[in-house]
Amino acid sequence: MTKNIIELKSPGISEDTIRNLKKGDVVSISGVMVTGRDVAHKYLKDTFISSQNPPESEKLVLENLKKYLDGGILYHCGPVVYKDENNEYKFSAAGPTTSIREEPYEYDVIKLFNLRGVIGKGGMGAKTLKACQEFGSVYLHAIGGAATYTAERVKKVIGVGKLEEFGSPEAFWIIEVENFECVVTMDSHGDSLHESLLLESEKIQKEIMASF
């Protein structure tokens, strides 16, 4: 039986909408999301979470990001980007980055921006799962190994932050997407598909080893 696809419009996703999602649900996101991976997460933690008084120039960056991330989606992605004949940015590849590298930062980033979703691949740990429970967020698993296909879901690059400082893969790309499909693998109720699969795999492994 095919699961119903739940449509989300980002930003402005309500906490109630997220609380109604369960592990295994399939969602389709349209609207605006922001990319950010290792360098971006460390910057956010060092500049706005650990620091008591960030520079005014950096506060402007934070304010701009909040426009799109408050009630919105952060995508763990280091895209391949080019400029077309009209000198506009285009994504040619936009596959998800392995998310566990952001585990030291994600709780605080979810709290800082009131994030409703984080997209990546491979799952995240207990601290991120706790943030999903406390703040009403979910971890969404995107398709790995289909970067070109995923890039087709990106309809427009709205803007980019920290490009010169961080470089293209690590910059904050603000993108408009359409029908960007993901699976909820960590929900706001403390359920993690990644943890369930790990426990099941360990059980099967023990049964196999016991048979020898």
194 belongs to the catalytic site = no
How big is the chain by its Cα radius of gyration, in Å? 18
Distances (CA, A) of 95 to 4, 70, 120, 167: 24, 23, 9, 17
Q: Give the pairing type, strands 80-83 and 89-93.
A: antiparallel
Can you read off the two tokens belonging to residue 11? 């930003």
Q: Give the pairing type, strands 26-35 and 172-186.
A: antiparallel
Alpha helices in the chain, H assignment, sequence order: 15-19, 38-44, 56-69, 103-113, 126-135, 147-151, 163-166, 193-210
| Cα–Cα distance for residue pair 25/141, rounded to 1 Å | 11
Residue 3 exposed, middle or buried by CB count within 10 Å (0-12, 13-18, 19+): exposed
| Cα–Cα distance for residue pair 177/93, rounded to 1 Å | 14
Residue of 41, 76, 141, 194 marked active site:
41
- The number of beta carbons lying within 10 Å of the beta carbon of residue 186 is 27
- Catalytic residue numbers read 41
